[in-house]
Amino acid sequence: MSEWLDASLVADVRKTLLDKPGPVTTAAVAEAVQRTGRVLGSSALLELVTRLSAQLSGAGPLQSVLEVPGTTDVFVNGPREIFADTGDGPRLLDLSLGAEEDVRSLAVRLAALGGRRLDDSSPYVDVRLPDGVRMNAIVPPISGDTTTISFRVPKRSGFPYSQLCEEGFVPDEISPLIAEAVTSRANILISGGTGTGKTVLLGALLSLVETIQRIVIVEDSRELIVTHPHTVQLAARQANVEGGGEVTLTDLVRNALRMRPDRLVVGECRGAEVRDMLTALNTGHEGGCATIHANTAEAVPSRVAALGALAQMSPDAVYSQFSTAIDLVIHLRRCGSERGITELAIPTRVGAEAVVMEPVWGRPSPSTAGTVNRRALARFESVLEQKSAQ
């Protein structure tokens, strides 16, 4: 770096450019430098233009990291603690963002780019950036001594179902059964932890839907990539800096039902929208799909009950709706760099106040062999026969 290109000069010029939005051009940088009273040669000026363009465009110094093929997540725990996950776990990068004020400045700018505010009075934000990347940022003192940023990079292309089968994500022994469940219009709930591939599997399953059917998808933010010709995708919207303009998942589920969907899809159930989804699946909207966070298939009913409580539903009401609305739960697990389906289960009502998940097929991890519960399998196949006959 040129001796003239010190940190204070870069900071002064950056502040001037931020106060006057627009592209980072040589003329704009030269004008900003002139205001500082400093003089730069042509090579130093070009270096400054290049550096500031990287800082003020996209995700700044992290943009190239986010664009690496296969990247799923990028985490900033501090100016020099930057991790990227390309599918085999987070790895520390040889990269620095400068000082804490640089990290905070980046987070504040990206939040504004997504129409949100990040400051001491609003110390955390979750926002979708224009390129589809989801960003969560938290500033001190909530996050300790440094601003933390988490980026979730969306898939740029979906995976066909056949590819997931070839890679072992969907085991050969159950792939025909799952495909039949989709084409027979069974209502499917995909469960699993963060990063297990729920969205990937959901997108692949929707590619099996007949092309004449209309799919309406509701998501918190657009993540699903679906290769289907008749698809409508709706995304929720957070309130703006004035506190208005919010569109919730509950709003979208209710509107989606007015759009005559053949298939209603909820990208992820995480709140009161579960009430409207269960109601829809119980009133003739068959072939619906959704995902939910849960540690096991067995834990799914209690997770749904917890979400139903947010919609003022009693546990009995939730279990009654759930046991008749959901035909199959597909559970995913991640073990190290391996992930895939580890459980298939069907809901069974037990008494007046409980639902249990009866295993149809299961395996301990994505790399082990599975076992079949013949009785539950026969029961599920009977459900598929009834749906196919309708």
Q: Given 3-state DSSP classes, what are the helix, strand and coil percentages for the chain, each rounded to the nearest 5?
A: 35, 20, 40
> Which pLDDT belongs to residue 1?
41
Torsion, Cα of 125, 129, 135, 137 (10° steps): -40
Pairing of strands 231-235, 215-219: parallel
- DSSP-derived pairing of the beta strands 124-128 and 134-138: antiparallel
What is the per-residue pLDDT across 241-261, written as a single tens digit (0 to 9) for each?
Answer: 677 788 988 899 999 999 999
pLDDT of 42 reads: 78
Residues 6+ apart with CB under 8 A from 42: none
Res 178: pLDDT? 98
Domains in the chain with CATH codes: 7-56 (no CATH), 60-152 (3.30.450.370), 161-389 (3.40.50.300)
Q: What is the pLDDT of residue 6?
A: 67
The percent of residues above 70 in pLDDT, for the chain, comes to 93
Of residues 190, 204, 211, the one with CA closest to residue 160: 204
User: What integer pLDDT is reported at residue 89 of this predicted model?
Assistant: 84
Those residues of the chain that have pLDDT short of 70 are: 1-7, 18-24, 50-57, 156, 241, 352
Q: What is the mean pLDDT of the chain?
A: 88
Token pair, residue 54, equals 């990287």
What's the confidence (pLDDT) of residue 350?
85
Give pLDDT, residue 56: 63
Q: Please count the CA atoms within 13 angstroms of the CA of 162 that sit on its side-chain side.
A: 0
